[in-house]
Amino acid sequence: MTDNMNPFEFFIQQAQDMAKSMNPALEHFNPKGFEALWPTMPKEWMEFAFGKSFNREGLDAKTRLMLVLAGLTMQGAQADSQLRITVRHLLEAGAKKQEIAEAIAQMSMFAGIPAMTRAAALAKEVMDEQEDDET
């Protein structure tokens, strides 16, 4: 591992090198490209698919997505695309940026500071992208 590469960058580079060695066409593979395949669902659709439609007394979509965010953080925030997509969906479901930050921060007690920091950085990427789109 080089001095200027953090462990996550190192593992990503290692995976890309391995994929390239197995299939040269994967040389320019970028996991972020997957995110474009799943556009953000409107809040109403999330409620229909994951919320109150089938279980009227159950959790709403925002709460379900907060649980997903907590789980992804607990796993060490290693699933970049999934975490970013979840943050996008949370914002669409009406979550405030502060609520998302608090959910991630809460996981520091269980997942550790590195996982929390990684999840927070990924969430910030999404929030910054959305701010750029709004301007």
Q: Tell me how far apart the alpha carbons of residues 37 and 106 are, in angstroms, rounded to a whole number.
A: 30
pLDDT for position 43: 65
pLDDT, one tens digit per residue, over 65-94 is 999 999 999 988 777 888 998 999 999 889
| For residue 132, pLDDT beyond 80 | no
Computed over every residue of the chain, the mean pLDDT equals 80
| For residue 2, pLDDT beyond 60 | no
pLDDT, one tens digit per residue, over 37-73 is 566 666 666 666 666 666 667 778 888 899 999 999 9
Domain coordinates of the chain in residue numbers? 40-134
Q: Answer whether 0.75 is exceeded by the pTM.
A: no
Q: What is the third-level CATH fold of 40-134?
A: AhpD-like (1.20.1290)
